[in-house]
Structure 1
Amino acid sequence: MTATIVTIFTLVYLGMILGGLPLLQLDRTGVALLGAIALIGLDAVSLPQAVAAVHLPTVILLFSFMVVSAQMRLGGFYGWATRGMAALPLSPPQLLGLLIVMAGALSAVFSNDIVCLAMAPVLVQACLQRRLNPVPFLLGLACAANIGSAATLIGNPQNILIGQTLRLSFSGYLLQAIVPVLLGLAACWAIIVWQSRGDWAGTAPVLPATEQRSDEPPLDRWQSAKGLAVAAVLLGLFLFSPLPQAQLALTGAGLLLMSRKLHSARMLGLVDWEVLVLFAGLFVVNHALQSTGLPAEAVSWLAAQGVRLSEPWTLFGTTFALSNLISNVPAVMLLLPVASHELAGSMLALVSTLAGNLLIVGSIANILVVDAAARHGVRIDWRRHARTGVPVTLATLLICAAVFALRF
C-alpha cells in the first residue's frame, strides 16, 4: 500500500507544480480532491482517518473570515474606499503610497484575495478616468495585498494553517511580523515609484460611461459597519482573550449570516469553497504520506547529509523555493512537520507569503488583479509583472532575513 500512497502523493504534487494534470480538466483543487478520493477509494486511508486528517480549526477559521470579508464586499465597503481614495487630489506617487497602505491594512484583517477581487476593477476605472497608467497601481495593489496579509495569522490561508497547527500566539506573531511587513510595504512603494518615474500618464482611452460601472454594490453604511464591528471585536479577542479562535470566528460569521437584508446565498456565494476543498484534499494526502513513515526517514537522511530542514536558514530557502514551485499552501503543509525552531512558524508564514509576489502564478491575488485588468483592456503579462514582482520579492525577503538575523 505504501507504493500506492507514494504514487498518488507524487501525482497530486505534480498537479500542484503544473496547476493541473495533462489530459484532464483539473486545476490544483481538483487534483487534491481526486487524490483524496483515490486514497479513500483504494482503502489506503479509511473514511474516519480521512475525516480526522482534516484540521477542522483551520478550515473553520478560514471559512469564518471569508464570511466576514463577504459581508464587507456586499456592503460596498471595498469599492467605496477605493473610489474615495482615487478621488483625492494627490500626485501619482502619493496616491500609490495611500493605495499600498490601504491594501496592506485591509489584507491583514480580511482575505487578501477578496480585497484584490473587489478593489482591482474599481481601481482600473478610477485610473482611466484620471488618465493615469493603471499598471503601476494594479501591481502595487497585488504586491501590497500579499505583503500586508503576512502581518497577521488571519491574513491568508497559509498563515491561518500555520497559526492553528503550531498554536502560535496571535499577538506574538503580530509583533514579530509587523516590522518586516511595514518595511516591505515601503520597499514595494519605492520600487514601483522608481520604475514608473515619467511613466504615470495613461495611454489607454477613457472608457465610455456605460463601461465605467463596476459590479461592486453601492456603499451600505450599516452592513459595512456590521462587518467592521465584528472584525474589530474578533481582533480584540484574538489579541487579548485565551478563548479558541476558531470558535470565536465561527460565532462572528454566524452573527453576520443573521441578516434581514443580505441573503445567506449571496454571502456564501462569495466564500472561496475551492480553497476549503483544496485544504481538505491536501490534509488527507499529506496524512497518508506521513503514515508511511517515509517523510521522517527522508528528513533523517537529509540531516545525515548535513541538510537540516529544521534549521532556520535552510527552512527559509526551502520555503521560498517550494512556495514558487508548488504554491504556498502545499509548501507549508509539507514543511510544517519540520517547523520546530521557536521562530520557525513566523519564518514559514512570512517567507511563504512574501514569495507569492515573485511571479503571477505565485498567488491568487496576483491572478485576480491581472484578470481584472484584462477585462478592462489593460494587459499585464508575466514579463511586466516579473519586472516589479521579482525586485519586490527579493527586497522584502532580504528585509525579512535581516530582521530574523537580528533575532537569532
Structure 2
Amino acid sequence: MAMAPTIKVVLGSIAFGVFWVLAVFPAVPFMPIGRTAGSLLGAMLMVLFQVLTPDQAYESIDLPILGLLFGTMVVSVYLERADMFKYLGKLLSWKSQGPKDLLCRICLISAISSAFFTNDTSCVVLTEFVLKIARQQNLPPHPFLLALASSANIGSAATPIGNPQNLVIAIESKIPFGEFLFGIVAAMLVGICVNAVILLCMFWKVLCVQKDEEEPPMEVTPEEDVNSHRFSPATMSHLTPENSHDLNAYHEAMNSYSLPAKWKLILWKIGVYVITVAMLVSFLAELNMSWTAITDAMALVVLDFKDARPCLEKVSYSLLVFFCGMFVTIEGFDRTGIPEAIWNFMEPYAKINKVSGVAVLAIVIVVLSNLASNVPTVLLLGSRVAAAAATISPEKEKKAWLAWVSTVAGNLSLLGSAANLIVCEQARRAQHSGYNLTFWAHLKFGVPSTIIVTAIGLPLIRA
C-alpha cells in the first residue's frame, strides 16, 4: 500500500494519536472521557477528516468478533450465577499444604479458568479469594497477586476465547478452536510452570514464613465474605455491598427455598454447565465460533426461563462499542500507509524462518503491546506477519504464535494488561487489604518472567 496524500497522513495520525492517548491513559486531565469514548472519538475523527468514508468505516467493523465476544460474556454471566467461580475459589484453599502450594494452585487455577472464561473475568472473581486466603495465612499478598495476574495472562493465550486479541487472531486467520488450543497448550503449560518457578525463586523467603500457631486454621472462603462482581471485561465494575442488594437477596431467597425448589436450582446449575461444555465441544468440532457462542448464550437465557434483562445488563456493552471504534480507527490509520512503511523497513530483519527474525518480531510485538496495547498491535501487524510468513512457506501462515507473544507481553508491566490493572485495583479497594501493587514492584517480576516465558514458549507453538 502506497503512502496516502500528506494531508490524510497527518490527519489520520492525529486521529490515531487521540485514540492511543485515551486508550492508554483514559483519565488524562485535558480530556478525561475514558477508553470507550476515546475509541469512538478516534473513529469519528477518521471519518470527519475523510481518511475513511462512512461506508468504509462501517465495513471495517468485524461483526464475527463482536458476536463471539458478546456470546462469551453472556455465558460467563450465567456461570457466575451458577457459582462456578465460587467453586474455583474454594479449590484454592482445599487441603492447602502451605504458602508454596497455595501459590502453585493460584497459578494453575488462574491459567485454566482464564483459558475458557477470559483472563479479566478470572482476575475479577478470584482476587478476593486470594486476598482472603493470604490474610488467613498471615502472608503478604504481593506474590499471590502477581501469580494470579501473570498466570491469567499466560493461560488465556491457549484458546481463542481467552482474551480479545486471540479472538481477532483466530477469526481473521481462520484457525479452528481445536488447532489453536492444541497448538499452544504445550507452551501454556510449560509457561505456567516456568512462571511459578520464577515466583517461587523471587519470593522463597516470604513464602517460608509460617502462620502463628495461635491463629485458627484456614477455612474455605465463605460466599458472603466475597463481594459480588459484574462481569465486564472492559471495566470490570465492582459491586459494593450497597449496590449488590439484588444479588444478595437472590441468594437469600435460594437458601430459604423448600427441598424441591433447591433441587430445581441444582438442576439449573447442571444445565448451565452442560450448555457451557456443549459450547466448548462445538468449538472443537469447528463450528462457527461466533454463532455458537450466541446460540449457547440464548440457550442459557431460555433455560433460566425469566426476564433476561438483569443478566444482559451485566454484559459490557462499552467494551463492544470500544471495539467498534477501534476497528474503524485502526482501519483509518492503516490506510494512511504508515504501518505499511514501517513494516517494509522492518520485514528484512523479521523473517520467521530465522531465529534472529523471530527474536526481532517478538521484541517489536512485546514493546508495542505495552505501549499501544496488544489488540491494536495484533490488528496492525497480524495480517502483515501472516502474509510475510506465507511467502516463506504456506504452513507458516498461521498466527497462533502471535497470540502467544502479544498475550504474554502483558506480563511485562502493570499497564501491559487489563488483567494486571484489575488485580491491582481490586486489591487496593479490598476492605481488609488496601494493598497497592506498584508499577515498579510489578516490573521487577514482569521483565524476567515475560522474557523467559516468551522465549521458552515460542519453540513449542504448533499452530
TM-score of the pair, normalised by structure 1: 0.88
The question of 1:34 aligning with 2:28 is answered no
Distance 1:41 1:386, change over 3 A: same
**1:279 maps to 2:323:** yes
For the 8 Å contact 1:106–1:115, the answer to whether it is kept is yes
Shift of 1:293: 4.1
* Number of the residue aligned with 1:117: 124
Q: Which moved more, 1:231-240 or 1:145-154?
A: 231-240
Q: 1:402 to 1:260 in 2, by over 3 A?
A: closer
Match status 1:337 vs 2:383: yes
Which structure's CA Rg is the greater one?
Answer: 2
Give the letter for the 1:232 counterpart: V
- AA in 1 matched with 2:188: V
Shift of 1:364: 0.9
CA distance in 2, matches of 1:297, 1:389: 31
Is 2:371 the counterpart of 1:325? yes
Q: Report the counterpart of residue 398 of structure 1 in structure 2.
A: 455
Is 1:214 the counterpart of 2:214? The answer is: no
Cα distance, 1:225–1:43 mapped onto 2, change above 3 Å = farther
**Aligned pairs (5 A) from 1:219-238:** 221-238=266-283
Which of 175, 187, 190 is matched with 1:180 structurally?
187
> Can you list the C-alpha shifts for 1:79-106, whole angstroms capped at 9, x where unaligned?
2321343142322211222221111111
Instruction: Render the CA deviation track for 1:350-406: whole Å, top value 9, x for unaligned.
Output: 0010010111111111111111111232232122222322222122112123435xx
Match of 2:296 in 1: 252
Q: Which amino acid aligns with 2:127?
A: A
1:72–1:223 Cα contact (<8 Å) kept: no
Matches within 5 A, 1:5-404: 5-19=12-26, 21=28, 23-200=30-207, 201=209, 213-216=225-228, 221-241=266-286, 243-260=287-304, 264-303=308-347, 306-308=348-350, 312-340=358-386, 341=389, 342=396, 345-376=399-430, 377-403=434-460
Aligned CA-pair RMSD = 2.9
Q: Are 1:21 and 1:31, in contact at CA under 8 Å, matched by a contact in 2?
A: no
Runs of at least 5 residues in structure 2 that lack an aligned partner in the other structure:
1-6, 229-246, 255-264, 390-395
Q: Shift of residue 240 of structure 1?
A: 2.1
Superposition deviation, residue 199 in structure 1: 1.4
Separation of aligned partners in 2, 1:81 and 1:400: 26
Change (3 A) 1:195 1:222: farther
Secondary structure of the corresponding residue to residue 199 of structure 1: helix
The 3 A distance-change label for structure 1 pair 392 and 84 is same
TM-superposed CA distance for 1:212, in Å, is 7.4
SS at match of 1:190: helix
Question: What is the alpha-carbon distance in structure 1 between the residues aligned to residue 204 and residue 194 of structure 2?
Answer: 15
SS at match of 1:66: helix
Conserved 8 A contact 1:71-1:256: yes
Q: Secondary structure at the match of 1:198?
A: helix
CA separation of 1:253/1:199 partners in 2, compared to 1, >3 Å: closer, same or farther? same
Q: Kindly tell me the number of residue pairs found equivalent between the two proteins.
A: 401
Contact kept in structure 1, 2:158 and 2:188, CA below 8 Å: yes
Which stretches in structure 1 are left out of the alignment for 5+ residues? none
What's the offset of the Cα at 1:67? 1.1
Give the distance between the partners of 2:226 and 2:82, measured in 1 at CA. Answer: 14
Query: CA 1:277–1:263 in structure 2 vs 1: closer, same or farther (change >3 Å)?
Result: same
Cα deviation, residue 149, structure 1: 0.3
Identity of aligned residues (%): 28
Query: 2 CA distance for matches of 1:394 and 1:291?
Result: 33
Does the C-alpha gap of structure 1 residues 6 and 133 become closer, same or farther in structure 2, counting only changes over 3 Å?
Answer: closer
In structure 2, what is the Cα distance between the partners aligned to 1:142 and 1:129? Answer: 20
Question: For each residue in 1:201-251, what CA deviation from the matched residue of structure 2 results, as whole angstroms up to 9, or x when unmatched?
Answer: 499x99xx999721236696555434432221122111123x311111110
